[in-house]
Structure 1
Amino acid sequence: MREVFQQELREVQDQLVEIADLVATSITAATRAFTESNVSLAEQVIDNDRRIDELAVSLDERAIDILARQQPVARDLRIVVSALRISASLERMGDIAEHIAQLARYRFPEKAVPKGLRSTFAEMGRLDVEIAVMLTELLRTQDVELAEQIRNEDDKIDELHVSVFDKVLGETWKGEPAATVDATLASRYHERFADHAVSIAKKVQYLATGDWAQDSSTD
């Protein structure tokens, strides 16, 4: 029975990796759609979000079934409960990628990115994609060094997020109201995407080391 239980835990981990990989694919396409005004890519992200949602629901059902049948304790219980919380964060990351894609679709054929902020959003997108790829590998390997790298990249996104608000609130900003709204929403989406990754990284780090890293990210 113990061997069966451990196999079930491995399957939960594998499913988390699968969802994370889909999220990485979504944010890659979403950020490209946003910066390039590519409506075809945007539609793909929006359509594919259903698959992420379905897998998250499936994982949650599997985890709850394990809790009911196996009644795990100690570290095994923490693994299952953490999987439920990680699944929720991954599902939310998929939603955020969809929101970024929706901005591109709404503004097509116009550019969703205000001209003066295109380089900033290109960098924010690059960092979010990098974080998503590292997160998938972290869930696959539980390499705690990746958790630290994710936190460091999140700091860079936070700085860019602040710079976007400084720009749109500055006296020299000439953007139309729609451009201002797009910029603030998109910046917030990019920042929250990374925050969810940090939240997951904290949970994985705790499971691997028993050390709960403290930061200001919202779980």
Structure 2
Amino acid sequence: MREVFQQELREVQDRLVEISTLVGDSIENATRAFNESDVALAETVIEDDRKIDALAAELDELAITILARQQPVARDLRIVVSALRISASLERMGDMAEHIAQLARYRFPEKVVPKGLRSTFREMGALDVEIARKLTELLATQDPAIAEHIRNEDDKVDALHLAVFDKVLGETWKGETVDTVDATLASRYHERFADHAVSIAKKVLYLATGDWVQPNS
């Protein structure tokens, strides 16, 4: 029975890595669709979010079944409970990618934001993609150094998020109301995507150490 239980725990980890990989693909495609006004790619992201949602639901059912049947304790219990919470965060990251893609679809064939903010959003999108790929690596390895890297990249996303707000609230901003709303929403989606990754990184560190600590700032 113990061997079966360990196989189930490995399956939980494998499924988290699978979902995280799909989330990484989604944010990469979503940011490309957003920056290049690619409506076909945006539609792909929106469709793929259903797959992420389904896989997250299946993982949750597996974790609940393990809790009911195996009644794990100590670190094993932490693994299963953390998997449920990580699954929820991954699902939300998929939603953020979908929201970014939806903005691209709504504004097609125009670009979502004015020219003066496009380089900022390209940089923010590239950071989100990097964070997503590192998150998949973290889930596979539980390497604390990767958690630290994710936190550092999130700080850069936060700084760009603030720069967007400074821009749209500044006296030199010439955008229409719809430009202001789109830029604000898009920036928030990018920022929340990275925040969920940091939340997962904290949970992985908890699994690795047993202590609820944040990666160093």
C-alpha separation in 1, matches of 2:47 and 2:134: 24
Structure 1 residue runs without a partner (length 5+): none
C-alpha separation in 2, matches of 1:151 and 1:20: 17
Deviates more, 1:165-174 or 1:108-117: 108-117
Q: Once the 2 structures are TM-superposed, how far is the Cα of residue 115 of structure 1 from its aligned partner?
A: 1.1
Q: Once the 2 structures are TM-superposed, how far is the Cα of residue 35 of structure 1 from its aligned partner?
A: 0.5
1:82 is the counterpart of 2:82:
yes
C-alpha separation in 1, matches of 2:205 and 2:57: 24
C-alpha separation in 2, matches of 1:66 and 1:101: 35
Q: Deviations over 1:134-153 (max 9, x none)?
A: 00000011111100000000
Local SS of the residue matching 2:154: helix
C-alpha separation in 2, matches of 1:79 and 1:161: 33
Runs of 4+ in 1 over 6 A off after TM superposition: none
2:12 alignment partner in structure 1: 12
1:67 is the counterpart of 2:73:
no
Q: Once the 2 structures are TM-superposed, how far is the Cα of residue 206 of structure 1 from its aligned partner?
A: 1.2
Q: Residue type of the partner of 1:102? A: Q
Q: Deviations over 1:85-125 (max 9, x none)?
A: 00000000001000000000000001112211000000000
C-alpha separation in 2, matches of 1:114 and 1:81: 44
**Correspondence 1:195-214 to 2 at 5 A:** 195-214=195-214
1:193 alignment partner in structure 2: 193
C-alpha separation in 1, matches of 2:30 and 2:56: 20
C-alpha separation in 1, matches of 2:65 and 2:113: 45
| Alignment length (residue pairs) | 215
Q: CA RMSD in A?
A: 0.8
1:92 alignment partner in structure 2: 92
Q: Deviations over 1:137-177 (max 9, x none)?
A: 00011111100000000000000000000000000000011
Q: Once the 2 structures are TM-superposed, how far is the Cα of residue 6 of structure 1 from its aligned partner?
A: 0.5
1:127 alignment partner in structure 2: 127
**Correspondence 1:21-170 to 2 at 5 A:** 21-170=21-170
Q: Residue type of the partner of 1:43? A: E
Local SS of the residue matching 1:72: coil
1:176 is the counterpart of 2:159:
no
User: 1:29 touches 1:45 (CA, 8 Å); kept in 2?
Assistant: yes
Q: Residue type of the partner of 1:69? A: R
Q: Residue type of the partner of 2:181? A: V
C-alpha separation in 2, matches of 1:21 and 1:114: 31
C-alpha separation in 1, matches of 2:200 and 2:95: 16
C-alpha separation in 1, matches of 2:138 and 2:161: 25
Query: What is the aligned-residue identity percentage?
Result: 81
Q: Deviations over 1:159-198 (max 9, x none)?
A: 0000000000000000011110000000000000000000
Q: Residue type of the partner of 1:103? A: L
Q: Once the 2 structures are TM-superposed, how far is the Cα of residue 210 of structure 1 from its aligned partner?
A: 2.3
Q: Once the 2 structures are TM-superposed, how far is the Cα of residue 130 of structure 1 from its aligned partner?
A: 0.0
Q: Residue type of the partner of 2:109? A: P
C-alpha separation in 2, matches of 1:41 and 1:211: 41
